[in-house]
Amino acid sequence: MKELTLPGTLRRFAPAGRLIACMALTLLLTLPALALAADFAVVRGGRLNLRQYPSSSSQSLGKYDSGSWVDVQGQGASGWYAVRTMDGKTGYMAGNYLTFAQSGSIGTVAYANGGYVNLRRGPSLDYAVVTRVTSGTTISILDASYEWNYVSATVNGATYTGYMHDSLIIKSTTTATVSTRNGGKVNVRRGPSSAYGSIGSLKSGTRVTVLLKGNGWYQITGGGLTGFMSAGYLRNMGTTGGGSGTVTTRTAYVNNPRSTQVLYLRETPSQRARALGQYKNGTQVKVVSYGATWCEVYVGTRHGYMMTRYLSFNNHYVTPTPEIIYVTPAPTPQIVYVTPTPTPLVQYITPKPAVPGAPESGTTITLAAAYGSASNTINVYYDQGMTSVRATYTGGKQATLLKYDTNVCMILVDGVVAYVSTWNVNY
């Protein structure tokens, strides 16, 4: 999904700022398709207003029934999307009522040993728990990326949204068969209308996966093509996967740098949390959620959290990280003695290529000034094109890496998604 470069909600703008923002939106929505490739979404949950500005108090430009397709031009503030409707109108729609191609799937919560799964505020074990969802609960997958799914779940009559690790969900996939009366081919189009150009065709009898359903058109993938097909040419709809069952856990082993040391099982993912047990090297654990810093595990029937860097996923023992941890017996908190590496005021780094060795999603990074910069401040942006500044930070600010690229990185900083130049990323 592309980030819209308009900063903040338009209702906060002065009249002059609102005029400039509207001109920018008009330019964005009138660009040729080749200049700005669009995503598509489907309205869900009843009739949805198309708003003039990204605000529920803004003027309605029309109402669109559930199942209506929209051409998504960009994402603005507070969950609003800039869209173009199939009848040619442009404006904003609330993201809570839009379903995207990678979303809208149905999943069933699965768990290996316990009776529930934690629904978290963000895509990491470091985020707080929103609620607990019992095994076997049917959920709606709103977005799936970076190994974490953004889902909606109903618990005791109340609906909650949050993040759940992909390994804890059994997903259902809808499939269909391309069918024509004469056994010929069917066009796969760039958008949900015959007005969009064809990207290829599929023979009658081809089995495809349905990514998203809308009025009259489905987004599908199959036969080496991903695009849109008229619903009238799809037959024998079915569901694969899903159902009840348990998730497959990963096996790991406690692997401290020294054989005499022990690893604590913590009640929550924090070194200050209550210790539930201490385990020697070689102890087998079942990992149900993996994080860059903490793993959610079972040791026998005991549930808790262990630090990722002291677990081996290949065998009982691997070459340890040079950093050494010294602990004292519980209940004294675990203490880590680390010789800090002096960090200069200005970091001189070069861009890191997107090749093997690049940092993975979930890595903690430090924002640093680019080479030759006279200032120790770093701008982060709303958009991947880095045209609109979201915030400015001093070198040394920590963030979580979501996606690494040779030029621009997607990060999570102060609880929001932003973009920053790769020159300013140190890890």
Query: Is residue 94 domain-shared with residue 45, that is, in the same domain?
Result: yes
pLDDT at position 285 over 50: yes
Q: Is there a domain that residue 199 lies in?
A: yes
Query: Is residue 57 domain-shared with residue 70, that is, in the same domain?
Result: yes
Last residue of a domain, one of 232, 248, 264: 248
Please, which pLDDT band fits residue 16 given cuts at 50, 70 and 90?
A: very low
User: In the chain, how many domains are there?
Assistant: 4
Structure confidence at residue 318 (pLDDT) = 41
The answer to whether the CB of 295 falls within 8 A of the CB of 311 is yes
Query: Is residue 147 domain-shared with residue 216, that is, in the same domain?
Result: yes
DSSP-derived 3-state class of residue 43: strand
pLDDT at position 62 over 90: yes
Structure confidence at residue 236 (pLDDT) = 78
Query: Is residue 139 domain-shared with residue 213, that is, in the same domain?
Result: yes
Q: Is 337 exposed, middle or buried (0-12, 13-18, 19+ CB in 10 A)?
A: exposed
Cα–Cα distance measured from residue 260 to residue 427, given in angstroms and rounded to the nearest whole number: 31
The answer to whether the CB of 170 falls within 8 A of the CB of 107 is yes
CATH number at residue 373: 2.30.30
Last residue of a domain, one of 202, 229, 248: 248
Query: Is residue 42 domain-shared with residue 142, that is, in the same domain?
Result: no
C-alpha R_g of the chain? 25
Last residue of a domain, one of 66, 98, 130: 98
Provide the residue count of the chain. Answer: 427
Please, which pLDDT band fits residue 316 given cuts at 50, 70 and 90?
A: very low
Structure confidence at residue 338 (pLDDT) = 62
CA 422 to chain centre: 20
Query: Is residue 220 domain-shared with residue 126, that is, in the same domain?
Result: yes
Which H/E stretch holds residue 29?
helix 15-29
Structure confidence at residue 70 (pLDDT) = 94
- Average model confidence (pLDDT) across the chain: 75
Query: Is residue 238 domain-shared with residue 272, that is, in the same domain?
Result: no
Query: Is residue 237 domain-shared with residue 105, that is, in the same domain?
Result: yes
Query: Is residue 198 domain-shared with residue 261, that is, in the same domain?
Result: no
DSSP-derived 3-state class of residue 107: strand
CATH number at residue 263: 2.30.30.40
Cα–Cα distance measured from residue 261 to residue 9, given in angstroms and rounded to the nearest whole number: 53
Query: Is residue 135 domain-shared with residue 118, that is, in the same domain?
Result: yes
Share of the chain above pLDDT 70, in %: 70
Q: Is there a domain that residue 128 lies in?
A: yes
Query: Is residue 200 domain-shared with residue 110, that is, in the same domain?
Result: yes
CA 184 to chain centre: 39
Place of tokens 């949204």: 161
pTM: 0.41
Cα–Cα distance measured from residue 172 to residue 192, given in angstroms and rounded to the nearest whole number: 23
**Domain with 419 in it:** 364-426
Please, which pLDDT band fits residue 423 given cuts at 50, 70 and 90?
A: confident
pLDDT at position 185 over 90: yes
